[in-house]
Structure 1
Amino acid sequence: MADIDHFKAYNDRLGHIAGDHCLKQVAWALSAALMRHVDTLARYGGEEFAAILPETDESGAVAVVTRMRNAVKALNIAHPASETESHVTVSLGVAAMIPGPDAHTLQLIENADAAMYRAKQLGRDRYALYSQTLRN
């Protein structure tokens, strides 16, 4: 899960046209960071994006989110309304699921979302891995 940091402030300060342009550029950068044809990126809502990385272990997922974060930074989109950075950044959450009868997609999304919010709590412009302690 990826979320553009302080996007509401960006939109409020620069307007919806600039916000839409920013969303498109970030979506392109996040998509470009995916290396396999089976990997998928989708806008999940607002300024959030979800990436599905089938048959990817934790180290592979970390490599992908690191590329995503770097790709967004490389856009160097000015963010005059950010409280933390002078340019647009993303916070990312990583969660994994082993396919099987007990695997639930909604739980995977909730876990990735919890990890993303942990990344935001830690200062934004970073990724966090899901662990059970995030639920406690």
Structure 2
Amino acid sequence: MRNSLPVAIIMIDVDAFKRYNDFYGHQQGDICLRTVAAKINEYCKRPGDECARYGGEEFVILLPETKSEEACRMAEEIRRGVEALGLKHEKSNHEVATVSIGVAAEVPAMGSSYEALLRRADEHLYEAKGSGRNRVSCAA
């Protein structure tokens, strides 16, 4: 906020993960999550970029000094990268493990909160999931 620089949040959810876990078992589910996490982590390259598991099969990436367009581009690269892993998922419409991603960015101002930005990224995540999964939805 002090420097009027943007910040972006990317929220990622492994599609149909409960069905994956139920079909392949929890040990294979853990391997799937670790493999997806490693792929996501490849995109956190700059100092200050933070990739983290957000809970269950969700991940979050915090990108300081990142505009919406840049974050959306990265999110699409992540989506394609996870799909390209080719992790077999017989219980998915896509036949491989995929992710749905929501992105939100802003230049923080007085009165803004990280909770509101996180909520907007989460809303976009649910939009991506509701549009068929294996998609990215970005704030305009």
With the length of structure 1 as denominator, give the TM-score of the two structures: 0.91
Q: Match of 1:106, SS?
A: helix
Is this contact kept in 2: 1:115–1:128, CA < 8 A? yes
Higher relative contact order (Cα pairs below 8 Å, separated by 6+ residues):
2
CA distance in 2, matches of 1:95, 1:59: 10
Aligned to 2:134: 125
Aligned to 2:82: 72
Instruction: Tell me which of 13, 17, 22 is aligned to 2:32.
Output: 22
Aligned to 1:102: 111
Hey, which bits of structure 1, 4+ residues long, moved more than 2 A? none
Task: Give the superposition deviation at 1:130.
Answer: 2.8
Where is the helix percentage greater, Structure 1 or Structure 2? Answer: 1
RMSD, aligned CA: 1.1
Q: Match of 1:96, SS?
A: strand
Aligned to 2:123: 114
Aligned to 1:134: none
Which amino acid is 1:129 matched to?
C
Aligned to 1:55: 65
Q: 5+ unaligned residues in a row in structure 2: which ranges?
A: 1-10
CA distance in 2, matches of 1:43, 1:8: 16
Is this contact kept in 1: 2:68–2:106, CA < 8 A? no
Q: Match of 1:42, SS?
A: strand
Where is the strand percentage greater, Structure 1 or Structure 2? Answer: 2
With the length of structure 2 as denominator, give the TM-score of the two structures: 0.88
Task: Give the superposition deviation at 1:71.
Answer: 1.6
Aligned to 1:13: 23
Percent identical: 42
Q: How many residues align?
A: 130
Is this contact kept in 2: 1:97–1:103, CA < 8 A? no
Q: 5+ unaligned residues in a row in structure 1: which ranges?
A: 132-136
